Chain A
Amino acid sequence: MTDPSGTALALDAITKTFDGFRALDAAHVSVRRGEVHALLGENGAGKSSLMNVAAGLYAPDSGRILLDGTEVTIDGPLDARTHGIGMVHQHYKLVKPFNAIENILLSDPGERYGAAIDALTARVREVADELGFELDVTKPVGTLSIAEQQRVEILKVLVGGAWILILDEPTAVLTDAEGARLLETVRALAKGGHSVVLVTHKLNEAIDYCDRITVMRGGRTVDTVEAKGISQSDLTTMIVGADVHEQRAPSQSIGAPVLQVAGLRAARGDGHIAVRDANFEVRSGEIYGIAGVGGNGQTELSDALSGLTRSLAGIVTLGGTTDITDASAEERRENGLAAIPADRHSKALSGTLSVADNFAVGGVLRGRFGSWLRVRRRELEQAAGEAVEAFDVQGVRSLKQRAALLSGGNAQKLVIAREFSGSPRLIVAHSPARGLDLRASAAVHERLRSARDAGAGVLLISEDLDEILLLCDRIGVMTRGQIVAEFDAPFDRQSVGEAMIGHG
């Protein structure tokens, strides 16, 4: 009973409620055979929830799921697999000490290990070759790069017989080149008859690589449109319900240096020297951007400056006179440093603690909210409530709610609320808008600008050149742990881009 329109998967009027919160409200989407279908929307719009229903992870409260026009119930992830639906999640579900074959085998153990592993190895190699995946299937998955791990996940789904593939923000963790390569692979899969759902909030991906686009907002489906001929601003309007357009606003007054870095050397956890001889300074009232291709020492620079790792050599001076080269994170913060790390869930928030606690820990460390003997909870919660309001942190149903329940953008706003509460002199922000939707990233950028206008120095480390060009007053390009070029505004995108790759 094949649907005449060629619809492979249709989700119809799906409603799903979590503890009274309506994550999906009669949402619908239909995916044709052989198409790449983008699912766009802000964080919390319901994209992932809807796809989790299709993948059998969530049981919908109501609504219908149709495969090839026939209504089915999907009874868990294994059942979705027998229906030919496979999902690659944002956070990979891989056993790190196992190799690719063993991970794939784990999702369908078969009868005899020995026999199964030989057949599976051949099969995985065949599919990998078909897709042009370079992958050592005998290496432990934990030693593979993020892009390679993603390939293992995709192979797992395809070898499992999926003909409907759901990819949840697959390019968020990849470099531009890796992302483009993945999207080419996705197109090839669609050409071979697979249906692919691409959950994303990158507009250009949706327009350039997809056939049709479904936009979601607030748990509802806004519309499904053809990708051909639609403009980014039309999509933006559909996604946020209004047009968000950020503009450059250069600094009006730049003062004395607040951060001076001379000859800084810092290592990665495994001993690899990632920052070698970095020299630059950040002045009060400016946003100094560090541009560069990912993996050129940005994370290590951010960790070394915020005091998470020790510097091996060099001198770091804060506020012109204070040597903080060997200072702990506590001492750096006492001297007016604030940090917004890229990995906000592991380095900036404690997910199991409350929103109020995560906000207030900075204040408590500065001696606010009571003495050593007593933390004044009521005062603390009141301050947290005011900050949540002032920084527009949404999705806070209670200040006692766990911080992990906040969406990416709101979690970042909470981090910023805490970091800015001590009126810092220097802000080290590493990819502060990574993974955020348009509106949230515009809000984050606005906060950085207003901190700058209030006289703080801002160090913006970002792999997103657009973000750097939009926000910064000066740019340093980092390659192999060194600042290899500096640019003053107005910037020439071409020459900054060349500096990023030219010194390899």
Chain B
Amino acid sequence: MADETAGMAGPPKAHGLHRFRPRLEMRQTTSGLRTAAMIAAGLAVGLGLSALILVASGVRPGDLVNEFIVQIFASPKNISAVLVQAAPMIIVGLSASIAFKARFWNIGIEGQMIFGAIGATLVATFDIGPEGLRLPLMALAAALGGIAWIALPAVLKLRLGVNEIISTLLLNYVALNFLLHLLYGPWQDPVSAFPHSEQFEETERLAALGWQSLNASLIVALALTVLVTVALTASRVGYLLNFVHTNATMARAVGVPVVLLTLAAALGSGALSGLAGFTISAGIEYRMTQSFFIGYGFSGILIAFLARNNPIGATIVALFVAVLMVAGQSLQVFYQIPFAMVQLIQAIIVICVAASDFFIRHRVQWLTG
């Protein structure tokens, strides 16, 4: 096009290229149905690509169907494994959703889970409170632990404008090292001398529901889903948070208490992360281990992102992620697929669903030249 730039005014060039090419237009409105269809299509593409990768790395297509569909959904044992796995996933998904709704980028979910578990373990180890109230007290201590760990970044952001992405992220490492200090030091299990806390007593565990390995952590997760749904979609807080999310300047100008709402959302997110730590300790592992939290921070962000911070959406996505995790575990065990491959598949699905957003917001027309 060098000759074009050379002249300020010149005759028009004949239209040379005749070809088939796309043209994009922003959509003015998008129906809910189209949104759902596009997300489903993105998901299908992601799953298709993942299947191709797995087949290329040696899994037979038949086995793939077997692992992902037959094994997961036909076996009660696996269904319950998915649901047990899903409970903390749901809670971290809610935690991220509520923080992101206020545009508070909480990257410190894992640190807050650690402090949640520390709070719960403190109550359990030192037998604080009457036995009948032990579990609720553990939950409360976990929520407070999570709040304590997010309070500093929240106040720093709202008071001094310190970037919460960095402060919450770095506090993860502080939390991890404090956890290791406890587990290799004062809270080390006196029975086995392994670096994990002593086992919780029967009254300090979330009760089994009497079906497979399922326990009350799923109930806790679903109750929190209802609570967060009411808070974000029906209450005044949720209504006002929509303004904080979409245009904070405007929100402030019309009198929305932006600082207060952001603080509330951040602390709520911390409390939820703490409770996620509690459900793992008191519902799955019955003690605090040194690695119970690994991967939940990323998963929480991913779930909130895919669900667009919608609590019910987050619950559904969390179930889906749990399916991937459980199927991924059996792929690792039975097919020697490396864990990295499982992460790769997750990432592919995320990218495909995220890309569907483009087709939700744009119309693509195919034109011939």
Contact = CB atoms under 8 A, between A and B. Distances in A.
A59 B242 contact: no
Interface string A2-34: 000000000000000011010000000000000
Given A18-B28, A351-B247, A159 B253 contact: no
Nearest to A78: B1
Interface string B1-20: 11011111111110100000
Interface in B181-240: 230, 234-240
Given A361-B243, A362-B254, A375 B235 contact: yes
Contacts of A81: 4
List the 6 shortest-distance A-B pairs measured between CB atoms, nearest first.
Answer: A350-B247, A330-B255, A333-B255, A163-B9, A161-B4, A350-B246
A353 B236 contact: no
Contacts of A194: 8-9
Counting chain A CB atoms within 10 Å of each CB, which of B13, B230, B250, B257 scores highest? B250
A290 interface: no
Nearest to A341: B253
Contact of A123 (B5, B242, B255): B5
Given A83-B12, A108-B5, A350 B243 contact: yes
Interface residues of B, number: 43
Contacts of B257: 328, 330
Given A361-B240, A373-B234, A348 B29 contact: no
Contact of A160 (B5, B13, B235, B246): B5
A362 B235 CA distance: 15
A79 B21 CA distance: 12
Interface of B: 1-2, 4-13, 15, 21, 23, 25, 27-29, 230, 234-240, 242-243, 246-247, 249-257, 365, 367, 369
Contact of A352 (B240, B246, B367): B246
20 contacts: A19-B29, A59-B23, A59-B25, A59-B365, A72-B15, A75-B15, A79-B15, A161-B6, A192-B8, A306-B253, A307-B253, A307-B255, A308-B253, A332-B255, A350-B246, A352-B247, A364-B239, A365-B255, A372-B235, A375-B239
Nearest to B9: A163
A163 B10 contact: yes
Contacts of B1: 82, 108, 110
Q: Which of A68, A70, A361 has the most CB of B within 10 A?
A: A361
Nearest to B2: A110
Interface of A: 18-19, 21, 58-59, 67-68, 70, 72-73, 75-76, 79, 81-84, 108, 110, 120, 123, 127, 158-161, 163, 192-194, 306-308, 328-330, 332-334, 339, 341, 346-353, 357, 361-362, 364-365, 370-375, 401-402, 405, 418
B252 A329 contact: yes
Contacts of A401: 29
A77 to B, nearest CB: 10
A375 B236 contact: yes
Contacts of A84: 9-13
A176 to B, nearest CB: 28
Contacts of A357: 239, 242-243
Contacts of B367: 59, 73, 75
Nearest to B27: A19
A192 B5 contact: no
A428 B237 CA distance: 27
Identify which of A67, A82, A127, A374 gathers the most chain B CB atoms within 10 Å of its CB: A82
A161 B11 CA distance: 10
A353 B245 CA distance: 10
A372 B250 contact: no
Contacts of B242: 350, 353, 357
